[in-house]
Structures are given as C-alpha cells and as structure tokens.
Amino acid sequence: MNVIYSKHFNISLGLLNYLHPFDGLKFGRIYESLKNRDDITFIAPAEPVDMAIVDEFLSSMMRKKVRDEVFIFRALEVPKIPFVSFDFLDRKILNPMRWGVAGTIFGAKKALELGGVYWNLSGGYHHAMQQNMEGFCIYNDIGICYQQLLKSGEIQPDDKILIIDTDAHHGNGNGYTFMENQNVTILDVYNAGIYPTSGYTRERVDIPVPLPPGTDGETYLSRFAEALDKIEGTYRLAFVVAGTDTLMTDKLGGLCLTIDEVAKREEMTLKSLAKYAIPAVVLGGGGYSKDSAKSVIQAISHCTALTLA
C-alpha cells in the first residue's frame, strides 16, 4: 500500500488542542505504528499547496475570509480567542491543512500516472467550497486538485471522476463544488440527522445513502454495498473521503460502526474500484474519537493484505 504522510500534517496547539475533538496528532501516530512495515510505502509531497493555487479555486470574497482569523475561527468551530492571531492559526492549523491538500494532489497525480491506490492520511475537507468554509474544513482539496489536474492536462473536462464519501457527514462542499459538473459522480453515505442539512447539496449526490442516526455497522455496510453496485463504467480517477467519524465511539458522527467494520468498508471501496481498475486517492476526512488513529491503522493494515488486482 502507498501511504502519503508528512510530519507537517500534524496539528499541535498545546493546550488549545482541547478546544476541538479533532486529534491533530493522529497522523503521526498512524505513521509510527506502520512505518516499519515493509508492505507499506510512505511517500510525501515536497511542499504545502501554494496559496496562489488555493486562490485560483476560491471566490474573491473567500480569498479575503481565508486570511481573516474571525472567519477561520468560525470555520474551525471554536470560539474566537482574543490573543490568537491569524499568523498563529496559519502556522499551526492552516499550514498543516495546506500540506494535506498537497497530499491529495500528490496522491491523485501518482494514481493517474501509475494506477492503483494512494492513501493520504490527511485531506478530505468535504465541507469547504469556493464560496464558504465550515465544519473544520478550510480548503476543498478535491476541488482544488480537480482544477489543477485540468490545468496541467492530466485530466480532461469530459473525463469521468468518482467521489466516494463514506465520512459520517454529508459532503456539502463537494456537492456545491461540482453542482454543475455532471462528469463528476458523487456517492455519499451519511448520517441524515446531523450537520450539514442543506437540501440542495444533498440533492446533488448521484448515489445517496442517507442513514438514520445510530445506524449500526451491519446496516451501514449492506446499504453501502447496494450503493457500490450502482457504480459502473469507466472513471479516470476516484477520490475517497474515508472519514472514521462513523465509529461508535465518535461523538460527532452519530453512527455505530466498529473498527473492524470501518476496515471492511475500506475493503469494499477498494475492491469496487479495483473491479473497474479505477485509480484512486483515499483521503483521511473526519474522525473525532480516541479510536480514530487505531481505526485508520487497522483499515490500512487490512487493505494492504488484500489482493485487489
């Protein structure tokens, strides 16, 4: 398995770590646990995504908001702290996220060039969009990546692209970003009883799997299997938002999967992609429980042992 990790992914805020349930250091923990495995290759982007590239994606108003701590605090869902400057947030939180975006672009380029699966431990900011940032997502890495791949000619406007979003939350940012782009197919499995509830982005999902709060793993996986069966044809590239906030220990996701069931879910995703030989980049997405890192470690170990070809 090819796993994308940079030490720069990690978000360390000291005491401020307790302001948000997201474990900003989990990327390093996953790496430490898997780094000696000879069946896993770790690779890293050389630098964070440049703000000029982010700006190409954003609306003119968002180019200002993304540089203003008031709006950043709001998007991170933490109360504004008077003594914390934009520069601090930029260095401690936004720069790690730009490394995450770089990981997505790096993985997508590798997948297009060489085929197979590239697993970015970071990224998957599926609530961010051109016009807005919210839900702990500042930069829509899939949208930015798609735009850059078009620009470089690595994909063409009429290439079919697939997004499989198995994070517990609906990916409103991707729905909005690709609202008018019918060459992008979105499969989204989500808890229908939680944020974000915006109907118009839910309606954009091509293969929707809305689940009631508290859905168990068995139901989740059987509904997901039905959805995967609807994927057909040729796709140039797939993005997978593999959030671990579907774990029963996750207080934000509101679903009830075990660690083994999340690993099974990733197996089902990768087997479906392999069936049609679709190159893919897997993205970390959300995951706010103490078991998030453990779950990703288990999923990567499990999927590495599979024969996909």
Residues engaged in binding Zn ion (CB under 5 A): 167-169, 243, 245, 286
Q: Which is nearer to Zn ion, 26 or 169 (CB)?
A: 169
Q: Which is nearer to Zn ion, 9 or 235 (CB)?
A: 9
Q: Which is nearer to Zn ion, 149 or 250 (CB)?
A: 250
3-state secondary structure the chain: CEEECCHHHCCCCHHHHHHCCCCCCHHHHHHHHHCCCCCCEEECCCCCCCHHHHHHHCCHHHHHHCCCHHHHHHHHCCCCCCCCCHHHHHHHHHHHHHHHHHHHHHHHHHHHHHCCEEEECCCCCCCCCCCCCECCECCCHHHHHHHHHHHHCCCCCCCCEEEEECCCCCCHHHHHHCCCCCCEEEEEEEECCCCCCCHHHHHHCCEEEEECCCCEHHHHHHHHHHHHCCCCCCCCEEEEECCCCCECCCCCCCCEECHHHHHHHHHHHHHHHHHCCCCEEEECCCCCCCCHHHHHHHHHHHHHCCCCC
How many CA atoms lie within 13 Å of 276's alpha carbon, on the beta-carbon side?
20
Q: Which is nearer to Zn ion, 245 or 266 (CB)?
A: 245
Q: Which is nearer to Zn ion, 110 or 169 (CB)?
A: 169
> CB 243 → Zn ion: shortest distance, Å?
4
> CB 67 → Zn ion: shortest distance, Å?
25
Torsion of CA 172, 175, 179, 185, to 10 degrees: -170
Q: Which is nearer to Zn ion, 143 or 286 (CB)?
A: 286
Q: Which is nearer to Zn ion, 176 or 235 (CB)?
A: 176
- The amino acid occupying position 212 is P
> CB 196 → Zn ion: shortest distance, Å?
10
> How does 259-287 read in b/e, with b if 16+ C-beta sit within 10 Å?
bebbbbbbbbbbebbbeeebbbbbbbbbb
> CB 40 → Zn ion: shortest distance, Å?
25
Q: Which is nearer to Zn ion, 11 or 168 (CB)?
A: 168
> CB 171 → Zn ion: shortest distance, Å?
9
> CB 165 → Zn ion: shortest distance, Å?
9
CA 188 to chain centre: 12
Residue of this chain nearest to Zn ion (CB atom): 286
> CB 236 → Zn ion: shortest distance, Å?
26
Q: Which is nearer to Zn ion, 250 or 279 (CB)?
A: 250
